[in-house]
Chains A and B, each alone.
Chain A
């Protein structure tokens, strides 16, 4: 089975600064998909960004971008120009070819005004 590891239980960032959340995964598959979800205190799970493993180009969505290193099995999330509304729990997720999703344990991000 695939495993997803988020080694930073908590992170903090100054408003307007940049922060990077790390995620590593273990798999023997060659084709898969990776996602970052945000969970604010409202408890909703919100998709932030996605990455196809076959694409070398890193995905970008406005202030959010990823650093995808396939050989290293690493998928970090960079948040630029951090805003107070970015404060949330962030989960890294892996979609297998068997259509199961595997989640990390999450990183709680605090944004300091």
Chain B
């Protein structure tokens, strides 16, 4: 399996608090992605990165920010968490080769009360 670690695996927090999720890879892949998974919606892209300090928004980026200061780490931050951000969050990585799939972390279950 691709070396992707997400932390934490589970988190419960309160509305209005900041939350940071971490994705760490050992594969030196160029592309990294954050998704959220909700019933009936599949996987929706929040943000992605195509290199150190190079990021772009996905379809559901409102309320989220990201940073990538090193190739191996991609952080997702909820500046002020809301109950609508309760979800399962997946990090994924991909090589800079167009026929390659994404490889996923194990997901973070985030509950905002």
Residue ranges of A at the interface with B (Cβ–Cβ < 8 Å):
1, 6, 9, 31, 33, 35, 37, 43-45, 47, 50, 52, 91, 93, 95, 97, 99-101, 103-106
Contacts and interface: CB of A to CB of B under 8 A. Distances in A.
B48 A100 contact: yes
Interface residues on B, range: 20 to 34
A91 B102 CA distance: 13
B88 interface: yes
A101 B33 contact: yes
A101 B101 CA distance: 9
Interface in B25-49: 31, 33, 35, 40-45, 48
B98 interface: yes
Contacts of B31: 99
Interface of B: 31, 33, 35, 40-45, 48, 50, 58-59, 88, 90, 92, 94, 96, 98-99, 101-104, 106-107
B106 A47 contact: no
Contact of B107 (A33, A37, A43, A97): A43
Q: Main SS of the interface on chain B?
A: strand
Given A43-B106, A45-B90, A101-B33, A95 B42 contact: no
A33 B99 contact: yes
Given A95-B102, A100-B48, A101-B45, 20 more contacts: A33-B98, A33-B99, A37-B101, A45-B104, A47-B101, A50-B99, A50-B101, A52-B99, A91-B42, A91-B43, A93-B101, A95-B101, A97-B98, A99-B50, A99-B98, A101-B92, A103-B43, A103-B44, A105-B40, A106-B42
A24 B45 CA distance: 19
Given A99-B50, A99-B94, A100-B48, A44 B33 contact: no
A44 B41 contact: no
Nearest to B38: A105
Of B45, B50, B102, the most chain A CB neighbours within 10 A belong to B102
Nearest to B50: A99
B101 A35 contact: yes
Of A52, A103, A104, the most chain B CB neighbours within 10 A belong to A103
A57 to B, nearest CB: 14
